[in-house]
Structures are given as structure tokens and as C-alpha cells.
A and B are shown apart, each in its own frame.
Chain A
Amino acid sequence: MKRLNWRGAVSIAAFILMWTLLARLKAPGFAEIPDPAAVGRAFWDKYLPSAAYWRSWVVSFERVGYGFLASQLLGIPLGLLLGTRRVFHDVVYPVVELLRPIPPLAWVPLSILFWPTAELSIVFITFIGPFFIIVINVHDAVRGTRKEHLWLARSLGASPAYIFRRIILPSVIPAVAVGMTLGIAVAWNVVIAAEMIASDSGLGRLTWEGYVSHTGTTVLIGMISIGLAGYLSTLLVTYAEKRMMPWQR
């Protein structure tokens, strides 16, 4: 049985206690911030039974899911091509290097102009964030494949196609895992900001509406929900990583 991390539990309890004290004492900056009990009550009474609230979860998860999945499905093959095909690398890599430093949110205006619906714009922006991370990670991993593994595979009779499938691909799996971990966090960062700017649904929009309507409990419920959603996504990615790399258990 997994041991309880009592230090973590104490830390969370201390955080909630501190928040309660600061909110009740109306400490500077806390005048508009509700205490945890008020947030809990609002959640229980208003949001837990609300279909619209759970719809926000589903919408944000869908956007992250589609964007993240598309980033991996396109980014991994692109990284492999860049790492293994020299001419392709020479032609395409400079473009990747040029586009990579552009923050995902800077794509918002162009995305709105380009895509026919707001939904597609947000999914695209959520795709862009993890996309360059996975491309660079896979590209670097292919180039970092140990030459001893390649040499040995050739010595023992492997064809170039076999080396690609059975040596290079498994070699890049740890880099894919790192790219997924970083990418899922970026996808949540981006989707929330994009929802605040360009959407009328999702957890980001819920949080923003709380701010616009001066409803502190809604803002905090939105933030906590985003944190939990991100945490759940990380658990899923970690589970997938363990399945992908049984040799690292």
C-alpha cells in the first residue's frame, strides 16, 4: 500500500489555514478574496450540481486532448524526419527554429483570422505549444542515438529499416516521454489563456467571467479546477510514459 505523504498533507493544511487567516483578517490584497470555506460552500451549492460547470471541464479537456494529440501525432514524425533525413533537415529545420520562439499566445490573432471557427483556433493554439517541444525533443534524441547501438545493430545483421524501427525508435521514447510531460503542461497554460481571450466556454472562460463579474469564489473555483485538470492530465501522461518504457520501471 502506498504510504501517506504526511509532510505534503501538513503542507496543504497549513496553506489552507494561512489562506483562511489572511482572507478573514482582510490582509492587504485579500479584501476581495473569499476564504476557503466560502469557496467550498459556493462549489457545493452552485457548481457541483451545475451541468454548465462540468461542461467547462469537458470542453477544456477536449481542447487540450485534441491539441495535445495532434501535436504528438505530427511532431513525433517531423522530429524523426528532421533527425534522420539530412536534406529534409537542411530545408525544414531553419523554419522550425524561426517559428519555435514565437509564444503560442502570439498565434491567437492569426489563428482567429485563419481558422473558420473559434473552436478550431483554440485547438490550433493548444496544438502549437506542445508541438515545437516534441519536435525538438525527438530531433535531438534521434541525433543523440548512441553510435555504439547503431554499430552493434549493423554488426549483428540489422538492415537500415530495422535499425530505424527497432533501434532509433526505442531510443527516442524517453525523449518523447519528456516532451509529453512538458507538452501537457504547456497545453493547459495555453488553452486557459486562449479561452480567456477568444472563447465563451471552458475553465479559462469560467475563471475570466468570475473576474469580470467580481465573483471571487468563481475565480478561485476556476483556478482550482484548472489545477486539478492539469494534475489529472499529468497522471494520464505519466501512466502512458510507464507503459511506453517498461524497462524504466
Chain B
Amino acid sequence: MSGALSMRGVSKTYGSGEASVEALRDCSFEVRAEEFVAIVGPSGCGKTTLLNAIAGFDTVSTGEITLDGRRLAAPGIAPRPGPDRVVVFQHGALFPWKTVLDNVTYGPLRQKALSRPAAEAKALELLRASGGLDTTAASYPAQLSSGMQRRVEIVRALMNDPRLLLLDEPFRAMDGFSKATMHQHLLDMHRRYRKTVVFITHDLDEAIYLADTVVVMTTRPGTVKQVIRVNLERPRVPQMLYSREYAELKRSAAESVHEEARRAFERGEKEQA
């Protein structure tokens, strides 16, 4: 079992002097192996900065991030992404010039972790398990719906057997029906493959419904305002959205989230949570 993530006193400041921007300040929280953690907060609060630091795309100014005890980020350490932490991006990042199968097998083939026949067999199996996507293996991403593209991206990430799955508002642009379908799909994939998930969102309902733990962040500089343990049973089903437990959880988090949204608005932030 692996995938335990630890953030201790993580800060990030861009630039220096008067032009500097403090994106994160003293962020600390722990994620257990196989846990599903959602990070919520107003736009511009540093959620994506945090995710980029975990993924190895950006440095941190202070503090450290470890994965299973191995230091991923700390001052003076060059950012280094790796297949143990794969990101599903907000606007999608399938390679448009590659077929679905080539996108999905890209990681294991690049790392020479699997032979081509083995990678293709694994890819087709995972695609099949993702709502019959194996039939689209020869298609290009542009020929798929946005929901299908997201599912392919999740499969591409899982193909690398990552310790950590990082999702950066992957369902943001979707309509309600597609989003609900994608939630069930993601929960199903989490149940099957037991990966630690860090899910960034600005949607409190989504966060509570999906996660074991919800981390509420403050407006910039982003810091951890509240950590909420979600005690809803698994498997999660849409009926839970109307349960008393769910309403209680939402009430306890809503106050923090709305307070930060108001602060962000007052600070002239462009978007609100």
C-alpha cells in the first residue's frame, strides 16, 4: 500500500520585492494512502499552485512535500515530475495527434515498463472497464465527447500505476448530467484501483460527495482553513446528496467556503468560488 502524501509548512511566493505574490502560506495536511482528498477554495487561492508543486511542475518557497516518506519538494530541490503522480488537467491534455490507444499506452511505453502488446492489452482492459471505451481505441480525442476524453485521461493516468492521482477541476466545464455520470465513474475507478486521489475543485457539493476528506483553503495567500472528515459510507450513491449527514457536512463547510468567497470578492478577485 502506498500513496501517503504529507504537506508540511508549504509556502510559495512568485517574484520578489514589491512585485512578489504570495500564493501559498504555511499549508500543512496529511493524506493517507488510498484516501480521496478534495481541496476546495475560491479561484486564485493557490489550489493549482499546490497541485503543481505535488506533481513536480513547480518549486516551493518553504516547507516540504513528501510521498511515502520520499521528499518531492522543498526549497532548493528542483521540481521533478514522475509517473508516480499523474495529473488530469482542467482543460484536458490528451495529445490530439495520437489515437486513444496511443495516448493511453504512451506512459508505459516511454518508460519501457511494458512491452507494446502488454501495454495495449492493459489499455484495452482499462478502457473497457471505463464504460466500454475500448471501442474508441482507434479514434482521435477530437472524435470523443468531453466526458469520454476525461475518462480516457483517467485511464491514461491509471496505466502508469501511479501512487497519486491528481485531478485539477477535471469536470469544471461539464453540464450537470455529465458531471454526475463522471462522479460515479471516478468513484468506481477509485473503488477498483485504490489510488490516493487529490481532487481540486471549487464545487463544495462535488468535494463532499466524492472525498474522504475535504480541505478548505483560504483566499490568497492560500492556507488550510478547515479539514473536514467526510463520514458518508462508501460506495457513494446520489441519494446521499439528500441525506441528513450530507446536509450537516455541507453546513459545516459552507460557512468557511462562503466566508472565503466573500473575502475573495472583496479583494477584487475575478472569479468567486
Residues of A at under 8 Å CB distance from B? 146, 148-149, 151-152, 154-158, 162, 167, 170, 173, 245-248
* A248 CA / B86 CA spacing, docked (Å): 27
Residues of B within 8 A of A152 (CB): 86-87, 89, 93
Residues of B within 8 A of A245 (CB): 97
Chain B contact patch, size range = 20 to 34
Residues of A within 8 A of B87 (CB): 148, 151-152, 155
Q: A149-B95, A170-B97 are in contact. Are A157 and B140 (CB under 8 A)?
A: no
Q: Per DSSP, are chain B's interface residues mostly helix, strand or loop, or mixed?
A: loop
Per a CB cutoff under 8 Å, which of A154, A170, A246 touches B95? A170
CB distance from A37 to the nearest CB of B (A): 49
Q: Are A247 and B83 in contact (CB under 8 A)?
A: no
| Interface contact tally, CB-CB below 8 A | 52
13 contacts between A and B (CB under 8 A): A148-B89, A148-B93, A149-B93, A154-B81, A155-B56, A155-B82, A155-B83, A156-B83, A156-B107, A156-B160, A157-B111, A162-B110, A167-B95
Residues of B within 8 A of A248 (CB): 142
CB distance from A138 to the nearest CB of B (A): 16
Whether, in the assembled complex, B116 has its beta carbon less than 8 Å from a beta carbon of chain A, the answer is no
Q: Are B55 and A151 in contact (CB under 8 A)?
A: yes
Q: Are B83 and A157 in contact (CB under 8 A)?
A: yes
Whether, in the assembled complex, B96 has its beta carbon less than 8 Å from a beta carbon of chain A, the answer is yes
Residues of B within 8 A of A148 (CB): 87, 89, 91-93
Per a CB cutoff under 8 Å, which of A156, A162, A173, A246 touches B86? A156
Q: Per DSSP, are chain A's interface residues mostly helix, strand or loop, or mixed?
A: helix
Contact with A along B90-124 (1 / 0, CB 8 A): 01110111100000001100110000000000000
Residue of A148, A149, A167 with most chain B CB atoms under a 10 A cut-off: A148
Whether, in the assembled complex, B85 has its beta carbon less than 8 Å from a beta carbon of chain A, the answer is yes
Q: Are A157 and B93 in contact (CB under 8 A)?
A: no
Q: A151-B55, A173-B97 are in contact. Are A156 and B110 (CB under 8 A)?
A: yes
Given contacts A156-B86, A170-B97, 4 further A-B contacts (CB under 8 A): A152-B86, A156-B160, A157-B110, A170-B95
Q: Are A155 and B97 in contact (CB under 8 A)?
A: no
* A246 CA / B99 CA spacing, docked (Å): 10
* A149 CA / B103 CA spacing, docked (Å): 11
Closest to B97 in A: A170
Whether, in the assembled complex, B57 has its beta carbon less than 8 Å from a beta carbon of chain A, the answer is yes
Per a CB cutoff under 8 Å, which of B86, B91, B92, B140 touches A155? B86
CB distance from A243 to the nearest CB of B (A): 13
* A113 CA / B56 CA spacing, docked (Å): 57
* A151 CA / B89 CA spacing, docked (Å): 10
Q: Are B110 and A158 in contact (CB under 8 A)?
A: yes
Closest to A151 in B: B57
Residues of A within 8 A of B106 (CB): 156
Q: Are B140 and A247 in contact (CB under 8 A)?
A: yes
Closest to A148 in B: B93
Residue of A151, A152, A167, A248 with most chain B CB atoms under a 10 A cut-off: A152
Residues of A within 8 A of B95 (CB): 149, 167, 170
